[in-house]
Amino acid sequence: MSEEQIPENEEIKETIDIPVEEDIDDLKDEEKKKQSDAAENFDVIDELKNLGRQFAEALDAAWNSEERQRIENEVREGVHSFVDEVDKVFREAKTSEAAAKVKREAAGAKGKVESSDIGQKAVGGFAMGLRWLSEELGHLADQFTAAEKAPEDVEPAAGDTPVDEAPMEDSTEDSA
């Protein structure tokens, strides 16, 4: 064979499409670009932004819809009607004879309780109970603020007694 009949390496490469190292690098670059483009198309942040925007648009459309406005007007009219009816019933009840009778009887019962010994003791016991409850709430508040102070700084106030040592009064003797 002569040299003319033997093709050169470049001619062989052109006639036969054999990927060479440069072509493989190009193919790898193209594949990376495709993957990068796909990743950009599925960007989570952008998708969440789109979802938020669409959700806001849906809420806005629902809020501004004629149906929502119609329902709101019906509810408002219904509430106004209800309030008017309840107000009418209260006005009629205040002016009725039965209401006046109940009012007179309540005033009489109040006078009897105020003038009786049992009523006076009940008021005194109620006041003592309120005082005890107030003191206990103060102790509870002190326990919460004590955590902020150093333990050696916290001292019980004069006259404070623990809950376990608080005297309990027997109210059965006064109820007779």
Q: Over the stretch 121-141, which tens digit does the pLDDT of each residue have? A: 888 888 999 999 999 988 888
Q: What is the DSSP letter of 16?
A: S
Domain of residue 148 covers: 109-157
In a domain, 1, yes or no: no
Closest to 83 in 3D by CA, of 95, 72, 91: 91
In a domain, 153, yes or no: yes
In a domain, 114, yes or no: yes
* Structural domain count of the chain: 1
pLDDT in tens, 85-110: 999 988 888 888 888 888 888 888 88
CA distance 71 to 92: 32
145, amino acid identity: T
Cβ contacts of 13 within 8 Å, gap of 6 or more = 20
Sign of CA dihedral 9, 14, 16, 21: positive
CA distance 168 to 132: 11
In a domain, 149, yes or no: yes
In a domain, 141, yes or no: yes
In a domain, 62, yes or no: no
Q: What is the mean pLDDT of residues 167-173?
A: 50
* Extended beta strands in 55-133, E state: none
